[in-house]
Structure 1
Amino acid sequence: MTTTLLRRSTRILVVNPNSSVAMTHGVEEAISSMDLADSTEIYTYTAPADSPASINDGDDVIASAEVVFKNLTSSGVLQQYDAVLVACFSVHPLVERLAELQGSRGKLAVTGIFEASVLASLSLLTTPPLNTVPARKWGIVTTGKFWEAHLTQGVNTFLGCDPRSANDKFAGVESTGLDAGDFHGGVDPAVIREKLKEATKRLLGHGAVECVVMGCAGMAGLDSIIRSAAIEKYGPEQGNQVLIVDGVRAGVGLLEQMVRNKRMFQKSS
């Protein structure tokens, strides 16, 4: 008797490239609230201790990429997965490097929470009829000042936009002045709330912002603060309609569909 496999599970590894276990727990909480297919299995990974505890600038991005790539490839753990989500809101080198790998379950589907958030935001924007009103916008609220230029350049590069030209749909990046680690016990919650609301209101002041991206994995679960800022800025009716994108959830959802599409459209053996 022979049997034929018709369906199989989708195994996604969510990689926290910093060494903060608390950050990974925050990511896990964001994922636990998702309505996923029963066949989708999610696993999390925290970088080894020699990776930065908080990724706050370009040097931290590069250092974390080197540590994690070496650890993941030398351990052989990637052979167990169909897809990998890099849970650092940056233009992270791991995304490109991991996407080149071939595992035992086929070529990995890979994205980062930055890339997934951009795609999710663009898909959610309303298109005004016949351009009778200004274009609806999306933007990013992030941590430190470094990320304003880094993420703005990243958006232009990812979308193939000329940085010298205005992007009518991108409201830009506003920072809180905090580090990623501050969102997990490093700073008084009242201070976090105040700074996050201030940055959100500045972003919302850049036009008809319809979608706000939480530009740090450490912000998972803080969407209520952004919502309150939107209500204060726009009023209850419009403020409650603002869409708040969590990059971790956007990334998991995107990868789930990417794996399905690869299986549907890849060349049959």
Structure 2
Amino acid sequence: MLRELTTLPIVGIMEAGILFGSQVGGNVGVVTTDKRWEPLLEHEIEGELGLKRQCSAGVISSGLSVLELETLPKEEVYEALCRAARRMVHEREADAILLGCAGMVGLDKVIQEAVGPDVTVLDPVVCAAEVCISLARMKLRTAKKGRYEAADPPKLST
């Protein structure tokens, strides 16, 4: 809907992260928060984004809620996320891991250390910011013919 409302590029963190991950790895996986996000993210990756092939390792939960990322002691949060990331590497053979929640921003370095240098860990917020910067530098805008053509453009007051 946002793409219908503006010509400014709109970038999703999941999509940007998977696309970056597929450039640096052949088997991208997502580590997310609690278990209920696994089917929701799998559905988005496969159906909405059409990126199942690029994200072939799927989604694994850390068992933490989003709020626990901020409320639990850091060591407990780090251990849960690192355990999930190691599972992603060992069970699903992921060679690139995408953090599956904006609340994990900045935790890529902790997880990188846990999985080692042969696996790439990506922060999706950083990936999306880099895509936005590139689109702005290229002066690209959202197309208004076809999919993102606004049926009834809103009138914006100034």
Equivalent position of 1:108 in the other structure? 8
Identity of aligned residues (%): 30
Kindly indicate whether residue 38 of structure 2 is the aligned counterpart of residue 153 of structure 1: no
| d(CA) in 1 for partners of 2:54, 2:129 | 28
CA-based RMSD of the aligned residues comes to: 2.1
Instruction: Quote the offset at 1:152 in angstroms.
Output: 0.9
Greater length-normalized contact order (CA 8 Å, ≥ 6 residues apart): 2
Unaligned runs of 5+ in 1: 1-96, 126-135, 162-166, 231-238
Number of aligned residues? 141
| d(CA) in 2 for partners of 1:170, 1:141 | 13
Q: Deviations over 1:226-252 (max 9, x none)?
A: 12321xxxxxxxx21311111111001
Q: TM-score, normalised by structure 1?
A: 0.48
> Aligned ranges for residues 97-246 of structure 1 at < 5 Å?
97-102=1-6, 107-125=7-25, 136-157=26-47, 158-159=49-50, 167=53, 170-184=56-70, 186-230=71-115, 239-246=116-123
- The structure whose Rg is larger is 1
Structure (1/2) with the larger strand percentage: 1
Residues 27 and 96 of structure 2 are in contact (CA less than 8 Å); yes or no, is this contact kept in structure 1?
yes
Q: Deviations over 1:74-105 (max 9, x none)?
A: xxxxxxxxxxxxxxxxxxxxxxx211113xxx
Instruction: Quote the offset at 1:260 in angstroms.
Output: 3.2
Aligned residue type for 1:153: H
Instruction: Quote the offset at 1:110 in angstroms.
Output: 0.1
Q: Deviations over 1:190-234 (max 9, x none)?
A: 21122112111111123432111011111112123312321xxxx
Aligned residue type for 1:108: L
Unaligned runs of 5+ in 2: 144-158
